[in-house]
Each structure stands twice: as structure tokens, then as C-alpha cells.
Amino acid sequence: MKYELAKTEDLQDIYNVVQQTIKTIYPKYYPAEVVDFFCEHHSREAIAEDIENGYVGVLKIDEAIVATGCYVDNHITRVYVLPEYQKKGYGTFIMKEIEAKIGEKHDRAYLDASLPAAALYEKLGFSTIKHERYPVENGVILAYEVMEKVL
């Protein structure tokens, strides 16, 4: 297992991890409009820009990318683990790596928690500081938690 900075050539694999995870897990928690929103939000272009800026890490097992993490300043923005690799500690491992990096410059980390991930973040010491609502298509509302952790 190896966690390292993503390279430009990792884009397609990272995009696949994110999209496959969203399309497999999120429909259990959200209506289709919200799933579509997340798929568009984590577009190939958005991921490419984050890689270019040095914000994205990848978790490799036997050289295959099975998970990814991303942060900007002290805001964790994208942590996804392929469904078949979930519940094995990989998400926790990535979060600890990101927290250590953020802790070098900041005393707090923030994230916007999706419903599937909120319990993990709580277990890792994050607390909800506010509830947000974001309108997506067809009058559907995406509800999510803004969470914070003192590092």
C-alpha cells in the first residue's frame, strides 16, 4: 500500500474511482439529481485542475489506484475509496495523511460531509459546525454537514 501525490497520467484512474464510488454508493442515500450533481461536481476537468495544483493524492495497492484524497489549504474536498475496498481502513489512512499535511500549516481542518461519509468523519474526530442546503435540479435539495476538526 502506497499513498503518493497524483500525477497527470493518474487522471483517468482517479476519475474512475470517484465516479464509480459515487454511482455505486450515493444512490443508497440520495435521489438521482443529487447523484448527478456529485458526478458533475467531481468532473474530469475539476480533478485535472486539482492534480495540476498538487492537491490530489492516490492510494495504490499493487500499483492500482483504489482510492484518492484531495485538499486545498485546510479544506478536505474529495476522499473516495472504491466500493470493493471500503471498510478496510483505507479512507481512515488517507484522512490521517491529509490531516498531517494540513496540520503543518493550520490548526483546524474542514470538510463538507456527504451522508455516506459523515459517520466516518465523526469517528475520526470531526464535529458538525453547521448544516447546509444546496438546491440541485428539479427542486431537489442536497443537505450536508460542514464539519471541523481541531488538529
**How many whole angstroms separate alpha carbon 50 and alpha carbon 101?**
16
pLDDT at 91 (0 to 100) = 97
Determine the pLDDT at residue 151. Answer: 97
**pLDDT average, residue stretch 110-135:** 96
Q: pTM surpassing 0.75?
A: yes
Q: What CATH number corresponds to the domain at position 38? A: 3.40.630.30
d(CA 50, CA 32): 26
Over residues 27-67, the pLDDT tens digits come to 999 999 999 999 999 999 999 999 999 999 999 999 999 99
Sorting pLDDT into bands at 50, 70 and 90, what band is 131?
Answer: very high
Residue numbers of the domain that contains 20: 2-150
Closest by CA to 59, choosing from 27, 115, 21, 108, is 21
| Tally of structural domains, the chain | 1
| Average pLDDT, integer, range 57-84 | 98
